[in-house]
Amino acid sequence: MTSAPPLTGPAFDVLSRVFGYSGFRGGQHEIIEHVIAGGDALVLMPTGGGKSLCYQIPALVRPGTGVVISPLIALMQDQVDALRTLGVQAGFLNSTQEAHERRRTEQQFLAGELDLLYVAPEGLGSHATQRLLDQGRIALFAIDEAHCVAQWGHDFRPDYLNLSMLHERWPDVPRIALTATATSATREEIATRLDLTGARHFTASFDRPNIQYRIVGKNEPRRQLLDLLRTEHKGDAGIVYCLSRASVEKTAEFLTQQGIAALPYHAGLDAQTRASNQSRFLREDGLVMVATIAFGMGIDKPDVRFVAHLDLPKSVEGYYQETGRAGRDGLPSTAWLAYGLQDVVQQRKMIETSDGDAAHRRNLGAHLDAMLALCETVQCRRAQLLAYFGQAADPTCGNCDTCLNPPESWDGTVPAQKLLSTVLRLQRERGQKFGAGQSIDILLGKTTEKVTQFRHHELSVFGIGTELREQEWRGVVRQLLAQGLLAVEGDYGTLVLTDASGSVLRREREVMLRREPERTRAPRARRASSGSGGAAPAADLDAAGAAAFERLRAWRASAAKEAGVPAYVIFHDATLRQIAALQPGSLAELSTVSGVGENKLAKYGQPVLEALAAG
């Protein structure tokens, strides 16, 4: 996308006056002008790329109210509070609100007093809401988290399917759909389902250069996590994703016992606990949220320093979306995933037993395969991730584990044949199926109880695999599963051959495998953020500046508490740093800092100057 920095016009006026920013980022300007002119748009931009301005500014420039459709009911209050802090008139309608609040918001909308109105997708389906919208003036529809309409996607919301009616009912109102993740197939699905095929499509680079991607072999996941947090992320805020509610609970408890402030979040907790944990995560510093993927969409906390996965995500889209919650402020952050054989077995089993028809299962399988390919690659993770979203990248990024600590690839054809023929013999000669453990014991020639019981020491493959250690064999099994050369079946994850296994057994194909590097911890490359990914790089402060920054932070903490909003809603760290570096002596000088708009200047300008002067 191209954009020349505009210095005049209504969009620029709103940008500088309301938001206090001095220029547009990436494709923002082009998108904003397109929507102001009444055009429809489909916007793909990474998390932290600045999607909100793409609909907020047109909503403020065009006559009427911008109606934002968002699935994030629990975050609407925060979003509205943040806008009000900027002096924007905003409200929301959703099922959590009391009748009188709802009536007041409806009246404000009808009176033309609202710039922005957030509505839950299920709410839009009701006739009452539709009639209400008919009676007011709508500036635009913004469909946030638009990937929720993708039926086989990781965040599917059935209510999103009804949103194609927006165009039928209000054909003259421009629509802008936004998402931070989409392959070209998903993008087509979004466009079709939302009736946006005629819309202009804007696609920004999905690269998040400040995020360091790392995928490590899983052996003692909680210990490995603890090691990561203690050595690299002491006192940092972060998110730990687990597959099941039980492991969320256990992991949160474990971290707490180890002296790390951690909270659980999953769909099994009551709504109040969930809301309170989410609110604490947003408001307090340095909390670790241990969660299922039910948590995180729309979380706009800028200083999440790490996202750790203790279980394998189901798709690359999901992985990208979840890891994208790290480092919205553009500062160095870590995306860390621990992954092992059991993950593959478990996920394949889940697919096999999932609801839906064969096509649905094939689709889930294809998503998992892409995720496994990312885990097993010996190439740059970032390059592979971007290629998955159809974007070209440098072949090496210098800020992922495979770039920092390249793994070797080795010819694993012979071990693969040994393993596959063990599975084959068990099945052919004995009519038996076993899990990975038994096959590995046989290859290693271990006379375990189970080996003796089933007389597996009499098999010709017994003890033919002593060249590899047990852990290495598990790696072979995992990678054969990932490559589709082996499959798992049934409740116990028993190994079975696939159509492709034969070509390996007949020596018709080579099997290249990844050898795990000995060291698991990658050195941290401090890469500065590039413009597209996040906020301004933190200004380096001298001693006086650092002291001023601390005073400003203390002031911000009390102001946030008083207003009942997260600290970053008042001012971001980046803004406070700039203020601390500049040490402005007047309101006029303070207003030149990025992030200080008209309303915040009027509200907080004086206290900020006082906090500075107190030093």
Q: Which is nearer to Zn ion, 397 or 567 (CB)?
A: 397
Closest approach, Cβ 578 to ligand ADP, in A, equals: 11
Could you say which of 11, 14, 21, 62 contacts ligand ADP (CB under 6 A)?
21
Q: Are 501 and 417 in contact (CB under 8 A)?
A: no
Could you say which of 12, 44, 51, 341 contacts ligand ADP (CB under 6 A)?
51
Q: Which does 400 bind (CB under 5 to 8 A by kind): Zn ion, ligand ADP, none?
A: Zn ion
CA distance readout (Å), 128 to 101, 114, 135, 168: 16, 19, 11, 17
Closest approach, Cβ 474 to ligand ADP, in A, equals: 38
Q: Verify binding: residue 576, ligand ADP, rule CB under 6 A.
A: no
Strands across the sheet containing 41-44: 90-93, 116-119, 65-69, 138-143, 175-179, 41-44, 200-203
Query: What is the DSSP secondary structure assignment for residue 516, as one 8-state letter?
Result: P
Q: Give bridge partners of residue 518 from the DSSP assignment.
A: none
Q: Which does 403 bind (CB under 5 to 8 A by kind): ligand ADP, Zn ion, none?
A: Zn ion
Q: Which is nearer to ligand ADP, 289 or 485 (CB)?
A: 289
Q: Tell me which amino acid residue 528 is.
A: A
- Dist. CA 361–CA 342, nearest whole Å: 20
Q: Which is nearer to ligand ADP, 440 or 570 (CB)?
A: 570
Q: Which is nearer to ligand ADP, 78 or 311 (CB)?
A: 78
Q: Are 402 and 377 in contact (CB under 8 A)?
A: yes
Q: Apex CA 407: angle with CA 371 and CA 403, to 5°?
A: 80
Torsion of CA 187, 190, 193, 197, to 10 degrees: -60
Q: Verify binding: residue 457, ligand ADP, rule CB under 6 A.
A: no
DSSP strand E in 453-595: where?
486-489, 494-497, 512-515
Q: Apex CA 209: angle with CA 204 and CA 212, to 5°?
A: 135
Which 295-324 residues touch ligand ADP, going by CB under 6 A?
Answer: 300, 302
Instruction: Find the part of the chain contacting ligand ADP (CB under 6 A) among 20-28, 256-264, 398-406, 541-549.
Output: 20-28
Number of amino acids touching ligand ADP (CB under 6 A): 18
514: CB partners within 8 A, 6+ apart: 376, 377, 378, 407, 408, 409, 475, 479
Which 586-615 residues touch ligand ADP, going by CB under 6 A?
Answer: 594
By CB under 5 A, name the binding residues for Zn ion: 380, 382, 397, 400, 403
Q: Verify binding: residue 336, ligand ADP, rule CB under 6 A.
A: no
Q: Which does 45 bind (CB under 5 to 8 A by kind): ligand ADP, Zn ion, none?
A: ligand ADP
- Dist. CA 238–CA 308, nearest whole Å: 8
Q: Which does 29 bind (CB under 5 to 8 A by kind): ligand ADP, Zn ion, none?
A: none
Could you say which of 30, 35, 41, 50 contacts ligand ADP (CB under 6 A)?
50
Q: Which does 328 bind (CB under 5 to 8 A by kind): ligand ADP, Zn ion, none?
A: ligand ADP
Nearest Cα to 45, choosing from 324, 270, 423, 348? 324
Q: Which is nearer to ligand ADP, 338 or 535 (CB)?
A: 535
Q: Which is nearer to ligand ADP, 56 or 494 (CB)?
A: 56
Q: Tell me which amino acid residue 425 is.
A: R
Q: Which does 217 bind (CB under 5 to 8 A by kind): Zn ion, ligand ADP, none?
A: none
Instruction: Find the part of the chain contacting ligand ADP (CB under 6 A) among 48-56, 209-217, 282-290, 556-564.
Output: 48-56
Query: What is the DSSP secondary structure assignment for residue 47, as one 8-state letter?
Result: T
Q: Verify binding: residue 48, ligand ADP, rule CB under 6 A.
A: yes
- Positions that interact with ligand ADP (CB under 6 A): 21, 24-25, 28, 45, 47-53, 300, 302, 328, 535, 572, 594
